[in-house]
Amino acid sequence: MTTDVTGILRRTDLLRSVPAEDLGGVAAASRLRRFRRGQVVFTAGDPADSLIVVVSGSVRIVVRSADGGELTLTVVPPGGTLGEVSIADGGPRSADAETLEEGQLLLVPCEAVRDICARVPAAAQALTDSIAANLRRLTEAVSDLVFLDLPRRVAKILLSQPRGEDGVIQLRMSQEQLAHQAGGSRQSVNAALRGFERRGWIEVHDRAVTVKQAVTLGRFAGDGR
């Protein structure tokens, strides 16, 4: 188990440069947990006691309003991490996290990560880089919400998903969850997808989307700035 966990940690951007003996100690203190689809990982305001590595499946980070509105900030894929900000400032969780599909998460104690960052400059720099990347991504997302209409936001989200060589995107979210990320309603997202399909840019089959004209879709997503 320790060997497997060490390998998982070694593949993360944050801990890939940590010496083997130190990484082994972090692995020994970490624990693997399996989550069901749609299971809550944590909620805003919870104490942040662990860095979370997505081993399999994916996790969406979402903020909710008092009246039940939702906005998905990001979707963390396998190999990604969440909780870096709390490592830096020791504060509570700032958003909710829930799984989009069944998978495994690795919970790494925050204190262990802070200790590594204090002793390994490359790890501290990786933590800083990760927080900066998240800030840039959120800044772009806010800009998109203000300056792009919904179809263009949907196009950008589609193009940000991993695609196979055949251009197929296996969406890990429902149209309602896609709407939460795009900042619109499920009906408006469906209309945008059908509009792309009529133009021949994509094909939609259940939760699979084939991007047939990525360049054209990308050009459309970049218009209107």
The yes-or-no verdict on residue 162 having pLDDT over 90 is no
Question: Tell me: the pLDDT tens digits for 130-159?
Answer: 999 999 999 998 999 999 999 999 999 999
pLDDT at 223: 54
Domain range summary for the chain, segments of one domain joined by +:
2-145, 149-222
In percent, the amount of the chain with pLDDT more than 90 equals 77
Q: What CATH number should be reported for the domain whose range is 149-222?
A: 1.10.10.10
Mean pLDDT along residues 110-133: 95
The yes-or-no verdict on residue 108 having pLDDT over 50 is yes
CB atoms closer than 10 angstroms to residue 181: 22
Mean pLDDT along residues 96-100: 95
Is the CATH number 3.40.50.920 carried by domain 2-145?
no
Residue 224: pLDDT band with limits 50, 70, 90: very low
The pLDDT mean for the chain works out to 91
